Structure 1
Amino acid sequence: MVILQNATYIHPNKDILFHDLNLVLNPQDKLALIGNNGTGKSTLLQIIAGRLPLSSGQLQVGSTPYYIPQLLDSYNDRTIAEALGIATKLQAFLAILDGEATPENMAELNDDWTIEDRSRQALEHWQLHGIDLNQKLGTLSGGQKTKVFLAGIDIQQPDLILMDEPSNHLDYLARELLYDFIRETNKSLLIVSHDRTLLNILPEIAEMSKSGITRYGGNYAFYAEQKGIALSALDHDVKAKEKELRKAKEKEREALERQNKLNARGKKKQEKAGIPKILMGGLKNKAEGSSSKLKGIHQDKISGIKERLQDLRTHLPEIDQMKFGFQQSGLHLGKTLIEADAINYQINGKNLWSSDLSFQINYGDRYALKGMNGSGKTTLIKLLLGEYLPTTGTLKRAPINAIYVDQDYSLIKSNLSIYEMAQSFNTAALQEHEVKIRLNRFLFGKETWDKSCTFLSGGERMRLLLCCLNIASQAPDLIVLDEPTNNIDIQNITILTSAIQSYQGTLIVVSHDQYFLEEVEVTKEIALF
């Protein structure tokens, strides 16, 4: 179905994105493609889809792929029918029904007499009720756009399907429909995703990295287990090499001490024996040469060990280099922060929620805010943060320090450099070198400090925000995370998860990622209907 051999892609600016990649996807294979941001996963999908050319190498594709991109805004000016590639066929179908059975219309329809019914049934299946095929795609939400392209699978009925982060903007029910499709289909699938629930459904994982594509014969849980074993062995090798380095340095020190003692004893004997100064100088140079030679032998050995140790360390996960250490709020566990009694919010004179909301949020609670797209989750967040007032009911808020983190990490200001952004959170008046140490710890090296935040990826913005919170004098009392895993890869989700696990304040999370909710130990929920 897909054969990729020695594939290389070079950006127009001559930077090599990947080289010598090899991949085989057989008929009815279902394969997940994972890897860190920047390894070229999305680009590889575009190449297989025929949207981009290879710089070198060979690509064979057995049938026309159906491709669902991660970003769909480029289709905004097209109608749904145009975006799905069925506009001319539908026009031909309707023209034939009106009596225009021309050879051109018949050729365009190509005996696909169910195209209209199949299109409407597909849209209904994906919860796009009442959507007009002539409607512009730009009038739809992000989740609806994705559903349109998922409906296109039923309409086009392809044998090979390529998906790039298909669950990103889907609500819980739509995700379940996607998961069911993946389980039941006999089509060939190649899916780029960081959705661990989805990855556990797929029977095989392929990890893309700078060294190529490595396949694991199992789902994400199997992959994680195998990676854990490999990382445990790597950690053992690193520690063993560090021990070897310490011993080598100790041996060098002991050998040099012995040599220096021998040199000192020899010098005393020579002085007692009354050896002429000119000969003494020669013997001294010889002794120094022996010491230098001995030191050189040990330094060569130490350098070799250091080189091998550095190579091992480059394979360690970046998260191992980070220390989160959030300073804690001064509030005590259990203190009531927010108390809602029968609240509701009206839009155009109508209540947003079918039932009034009553709940209490205490310090240390971990809540999931759940509901379908359009159920009013963002509105409730604004109520909780004091930006809106309820139309009915009462909402009491204690004076708290709260931050709201959206899926684009908009707290990171694009007009600032990375260093300036870090300094804006420096309420504890840390010295400049201390701020830069924190930046280094969160993988922002010296070469990045003057870089504009405009050019940061989703994962980099998330890491910088975590670094800023680490720099701040005190952790916030309340953190609200709104779909925090949508635009970051698995590695950065792991970093975020570890940070949240070390945070002991109050957490409210809007997320359809059940795997993430379980990992950050959410135990309560507010459901909106």
Structure 2
Amino acid sequence: MITLQNLTYIHPNRDLLFDNIHFTINSRQKIALIGNNGVGKSTLLRIIAGEISPAGGSVSINKNDVYFIPQVYGQFNHLTVAEALKVEDKLYAFEEILKGNASDENLECLNDDWTIEDRCNEALRYWNLSDIAFNQNLGNLSGGQRTKVFLAALMIHRPSLILLDEPSNHLDTESREKLYKYIKSVNATLLVVSHDRTLLNLLDMVLELTPKGINTYGGNYDFYLSQKEKELEALDHQIKSKEKTIKQAKEKERESVERKNKMDVRGQQKQKDAGVARIMMNTLRNKAESSGAKLKGVHEEKINTLSTELSRLRSGVQEFDQMRFNFQDSGLFKGKILVTGRNISYKIGEQDLFREPVSFDILAGDRIALKGANGSGKTTLLKMVVNAIQPNGGNIDSKIQDYAYLDQDYSIIENQLSVLDQAEKFNINGLQDHEIKTRLNHFLFDKNDWDKKCVSLSGGERMRLSLCCLNIRSKSPDIIILDEPTNNLDLQNINLLTAVLKAYQGTLIVVSHDTVFMQEIGVIKEIQL
């Protein structure tokens, strides 16, 4: 069981990340932890794992049986496979004992775990890593292989509480299926941070971390979405109701003031006709003005209260609903042949890269999945499609003149530039400075962001700025190539990217193992390597 009470975390720079977080996870529950980038999901996992300490509150947990796998993005490259598996000492002791060195130290280290080597080999075999040596450095492995090494450790140690941070990142389709199978079958408590919607639907409950705290949803991710839709509908109804109430309050204020002014004018005229003394007239006028000010104050207070409530309600509306997409058509008619490839082959040294010669056609308007295992040549083929390299064998005829390549790091963004300078680079149509800034605002980059260096942007911010740059350029590219575009995005930004690609009318080639994303953007053809 995990129990968090009044948990608070403050960054070293004294910025508050989250406050008063509390929830309980029972034994063998499988829980999803979701939330926007930067809200503190990974930090929360690290606190539960005991890697960092909170500024306040408490965590109740048996830390001796917790296994935490953080996001794997290269920070462990100095480790060997055995060190990553956390078995290096046991394996060494086991080998020494087999050699005849049954010292007390080696026996104590092994602790009668005579199956350790067999379990390690079995786990690596499950993840298709049988050809990897225990003394091999992680830095020599692909991103997917590194992730699978850490996942293999779960099968070796069999912990009762597992914390996973984006475990499906970098995994190919086959490996994701193995992960899903493990998630469904494992008899342990799970707390998982992920943007993989297929994985999220395997979990029992969703915890949504927001700047205001934790929201709990008693079902899988699809259930969460249905509940959020109901919440947003209710929120929209509240906003419209509050807007109507404010309008009515302002109209009532106007009518009350007009009625009061008319009564005051009639009263003053009667007093004048009756010959009331000037000093008494001034006193009565002052009383009327005071009464009018009080009346106005009552109405203003009510309107201000309503306006505050309306602002609070509007703050609950997702930011990307405010964005504007305006990609003009590329001018290519649907069905026009853009690329023809026939019996393409490519050699690296004397070795053929592709398993067999590749043939395909790409037509304007196609939405194509490029599939293949790690090392199958997907990136090489993409370079051929855009005329960057030529095949060693076969023929490729590419008529693509204009393309956008969006990889998982959104590398069209130049790190040394500011946000505004980056946007200006795509201003090929001579837009005025204020129009550039307006479009940045539409993609949620306000004046406080314009001078920010691109190197400091998060994955979601890089994605938004990339889309903004294409929007500023206005004319759609002939083709957009997406290479694992969702790997570093949270669910909100994946939904944003999905909405933009649905609106885009041009040609797409997508390398992705996110099947839900592929379905939602309308991918129906594939090139298999």
How far 1:26 moved relative to its partner?
Answer: 2.1
Question: What does residue range 342-361 of structure 1 map to in structure 2 within 5 Å?
Answer: 342-361=343-362
Contact 1:248–1:298 under 8 Å retained in 2: yes
Q: Partner of 2:226 in structure 1?
A: 225
Task: Quote the Cα distance in structure 2 between the aligned partners of 1:428 and 1:288.
Answer: 58
Letter in 2 for 1:54: P
In terms of mean alpha carbon deviation, does 221-230 or 68-77 score higher?
68-77
Question: What does residue range 125-524 of structure 1 map to in structure 2 within 5 Å?
Answer: 125-262=126-263, 288-524=289-525
Question: What number of residue pairs does the alignment pair up?
Answer: 528
Deviations 1:255-283 (A, max 9, x none): 33444555566677778888888777666
Q: Partner of 1:106 in structure 2?
A: 107
Q: TM-score, length-normalised on structure 1?
A: 0.95
Contact 1:64–1:158 under 8 Å retained in 2: no
Question: 3-state SS of the aligned residue for 1:426?
Answer: coil
Task: Quote the Cα distance in structure 1 between the aligned partners of 2:269 and 2:426.
Answer: 64
Task: Quote the Cα distance in structure 2 between the aligned partners of 1:51 and 1:85.
Answer: 16
How far 1:330 moved relative to its partner?
Answer: 2.0
Task: Quote the Cα distance in structure 2 between the aligned partners of 1:20 and 1:293.
Answer: 41
Letter in 1 for 2:236: D
Question: What does residue range 16-95 of structure 1 map to in structure 2 within 5 Å?
Answer: 16-65=16-65, 66-95=67-96
1:6 aligns with 2:6: yes
Letter in 1 for 2:222: A
Contact 1:203–1:217 under 8 Å retained in 2: yes
Question: 3-state SS of the aligned residue for 1:64?
Answer: helix
Task: Quote the Cα distance in structure 2 between the aligned partners of 1:253 and 1:474.
Answer: 49
Question: 3-state SS of the aligned residue for 2:526?
Answer: strand
Question: 3-state SS of the aligned residue for 2:201?
Answer: helix
In terms of mean alpha carbon deviation, does 219-228 or 2-11 score higher?
2-11
How far 1:369 moved relative to its partner?
Answer: 1.0
Deviations 1:406-434 (A, max 9, x none): 10111111111112222222223222222
Question: 3-state SS of the aligned residue for 1:85?
Answer: coil
Task: Quote the Cα distance in structure 2 between the aligned partners of 1:376 and 1:446.
Answer: 43
Task: Quote the Cα distance in structure 2 between the aligned partners of 1:520 and 1:122.
Answer: 35
Task: Quote the Cα distance in structure 1 between the aligned partners of 2:174 and 2:299.
Answer: 65
Task: Quote the Cα distance in structure 1 between the aligned partners of 2:276 and 2:430.
Answer: 66
Contact 1:481–1:508 under 8 Å retained in 2: yes
Letter in 1 for 2:317: L
Letter in 2 for 1:208: L
Contact 2:144–2:171 under 8 Å retained in 1: yes
How far 1:323 moved relative to its partner?
Answer: 2.0
How far 1:254 moved relative to its partner?
Answer: 3.3
Task: Quote the Cα distance in structure 1 between the aligned partners of 2:384 and 2:283.
Answer: 87
Deviations 1:39-73 (A, max 9, x none): 11111111121211222221222253411110352
In terms of mean alpha carbon deviation, does 333-342 or 28-37 score higher?
333-342
Distance change (3 Å), C-alpha of 1:523 and 1:277: farther
Contact 2:339–2:400 under 8 Å retained in 1: no
Distance change (3 Å), C-alpha of 1:342 and 1:275: farther
Contact 2:400–2:478 under 8 Å retained in 1: no
Distance change (3 Å), C-alpha of 1:120 and 1:398: same
Unaligned segments of structure 1, at least 5 residues:
none
Task: Quote the Cα distance in structure 2 between the aligned partners of 1:240 and 1:94.
Answer: 73
Contact 1:33–1:193 under 8 Å retained in 2: yes
Contact 1:425–1:472 under 8 Å retained in 2: yes
Task: Quote the Cα distance in structure 2 between the aligned partners of 1:395 and 1:424.
Answer: 31
How far 1:139 moved relative to its partner?
Answer: 0.7
Question: 3-state SS of the aligned residue for 2:448?
Answer: helix
Task: Quote the Cα distance in structure 2 between the aligned partners of 1:325 and 1:247.
Answer: 36
Contact 1:63–1:159 under 8 Å retained in 2: no
Contact 1:400–1:478 under 8 Å retained in 2: no
Task: Quote the Cα distance in structure 2 between the aligned partners of 1:34 and 1:449.
Answer: 29
Task: Quote the Cα distance in structure 1 between the aligned partners of 2:502 and 2:321.
Answer: 15
Contact 2:327–2:474 under 8 Å retained in 1: no
Task: Quote the Cα distance in structure 2 between the aligned partners of 1:430 and 1:255.
Answer: 49
Unaligned segments of structure 2, at least 5 residues:
none
In terms of mean alpha carbon deviation, does 127-136 or 291-300 score higher?
291-300
How far 1:196 moved relative to its partner?
Answer: 0.1
How far 1:247 moved relative to its partner?
Answer: 2.1
How far 1:146 moved relative to its partner?
Answer: 0.6
Task: Quote the Cα distance in structure 2 between the aligned partners of 1:522 and 1:273.
Answer: 87
Letter in 2 for 1:319: F
How far 1:388 moved relative to its partner?
Answer: 0.9
How far 1:158 moved relative to its partner?
Answer: 1.4
Task: Quote the Cα distance in structure 2 between the aligned partners of 1:446 and 1:204.
Answer: 39
Q: TM-score, length-normalised on structure 2?
A: 0.95
Task: Quote the Cα distance in structure 1 between the aligned partners of 2:467 and 2:265.
Answer: 57
Letter in 1 for 2:4: L
Task: Quote the Cα distance in structure 1 between the aligned partners of 2:255 and 2:426.
Answer: 49
Identical counterparts, % of pairs? 54
Task: Quote the Cα distance in structure 2 between the aligned partners of 1:306 and 1:434.
Answer: 30
Task: Quote the Cα distance in structure 2 between the aligned partners of 1:212 and 1:68.
Answer: 24
How far 1:480 moved relative to its partner?
Answer: 0.7
Contact 1:64–1:160 under 8 Å retained in 2: no
Distance change (3 Å), C-alpha of 1:78 and 1:231: same
Question: 3-state SS of the aligned residue for 2:374?
Answer: coil
Letter in 2 for 1:331: L
Contact 2:50–2:63 under 8 Å retained in 1: no
Please provide the CA RMSD for this pair. 2.1
Task: Quote the Cα distance in structure 1 between the aligned partners of 2:405 and 2:347.
Answer: 23
Task: Quote the Cα distance in structure 1 between the aligned partners of 2:285 and 2:504.
Answer: 63
Deviations 1:364-401 (A, max 9, x none): 11111111111111111111111111222222222432
Letter in 1 for 2:409: D
Distance change (3 Å), C-alpha of 1:441 and 1:279: farther
Distance change (3 Å), C-alpha of 1:399 and 1:199: closer
In terms of mean alpha carbon deviation, does 259-268 or 241-250 score higher?
259-268
In terms of mean alpha carbon deviation, does 300-309 or 246-255 score higher?
246-255
Task: Quote the Cα distance in structure 1 between the aligned partners of 2:267 and 2:36.
Answer: 61
How far 1:101 moved relative to its partner?
Answer: 0.6
Contact 2:72–2:146 under 8 Å retained in 1: no
Task: Quote the Cα distance in structure 1 between the aligned partners of 2:383 and 2:418.
Answer: 29
